[in-house]
Structure 1
């Protein structure tokens, strides 16, 4: 594996790990801790301050993940085109990524609205009480769902990425190649897949 490919995988994995872990910790830790503050008018400002500090790091993590994902897609394009099942999983992964980006972006928009609301009395970061203004309560109810949607989608991305890593093993690659043997696959594409499989074989043997 080339150094460039190793860097791309590291960007992909570390960025996704921070995206998933940060969203889960925020929902459980930041929001949960803010709800325990005695002064109900300080719960929302404290949670908003915590999320605001995390936002630049989260944006960098997402950027690293996307850069790594695009780079991997380019370097693995022969396998995506030739090996059965890889293209389908790439499509699923892309759909999950787009969904996670959309939910993350909308969650941040709601978070900015809550931050601008100041310090209205609330039950928790995502739970209004009877004194909470209607517009704030509406944002909170949406955030209550979205705070779990982000880790769910990014967690699914982790699972899909792990499965796609299994598809890169020599056995599945050769089975896919043999399955395409009679479908008119060009010799140039076959050569690329064989070369990739041969490059991975020594690493697989070394790990035994």
Structure 2
């Protein structure tokens, strides 16, 4: 069987950065921005942090997608022969699409907030009464969405661990045999 080491590396490192970065920002940057001083400084710090993360996140997502596409091509034969692989691939694809959609929508909301560089806020996702209504609406949506990306990408990490077990020779042989006998 040909190796797909580079694709696995791109897939896993990209996913790890996507998951870890968004989780770290939700856990640390968003609430810590409240320590910046004035409400305007809070908004400026949060926006600066997320604006710095955006290109890194885009690169991580790109690496993950290149790796995922390479693995799909590499594993096409396994998907036909090994029971459980097609459904696992379908779940991974659905979760990836969800994570991409939520990430893109969150970035759109974040860009709306970032346009008002030093927008008054209690923290990155909590508006103050002085926050412009459109920015306050975006922040309220980001309050929930900041957890959806780490949840979906975290689920992808877990499924990746399960998928790694499916590569074990005894699993491949057992899955192929079940497929032939059914």
SS in 1 for 2:126: coil
- Which deviates further from its counterpart, 166-175 or 117-126? 117-126
Measured in 1, the distance between the counterparts of 2:124 and 2:179 equals 54
Higher relative contact order (CA 8 A, sep 6+): 2
TM-score normalised according to structure 2 size: 0.95
Task: Quote the offset at 1:117 in angstroms.
Answer: 1.9
Measured in 2, the distance between the counterparts of 1:182 and 1:152 equals 37
Which residues of structure 1 form unaligned runs of 5+? Answer: 184-208
Which residues of structure 2 form unaligned runs of 5+? Answer: none
Task: Quote the offset at 1:2 in angstroms.
Answer: 4.8
1:49-88 alignment runs, 5 A limit: 49-88=48-87
Structure 1 partner of 2:30 = 31
Measured in 1, the distance between the counterparts of 2:131 and 2:23 equals 26
Structure 1 partner of 2:8 = 9
1:110-149 alignment runs, 5 A limit: 110-149=109-148
Q: Which runs of 4+ in 1 moved over 4 A?
A: none
What is the total number of aligned residue pairs between the two structures? 182
SS in 2 for 1:10: helix
SS in 2 for 1:123: strand
SS in 1 for 2:150: helix
**1:140-160 Cα shifts (integer Å, max 9, x gaps):** 000001111110010000001
**1:18-59 Cα shifts (integer Å, max 9, x gaps):** 000110111122212211122111111111111111111111
SS in 2 for 1:117: coil
For the pair shown, the structure with the greater C-alpha radius of gyration is 1
Structure 1 partner of 2:171 = 172
CA contact (8 A) 2:99 2:153 kept: yes
Structure 1 partner of 2:162 = 163
Measured in 1, the distance between the counterparts of 2:85 and 2:25 equals 33
Structure 1 partner of 2:88 = 89
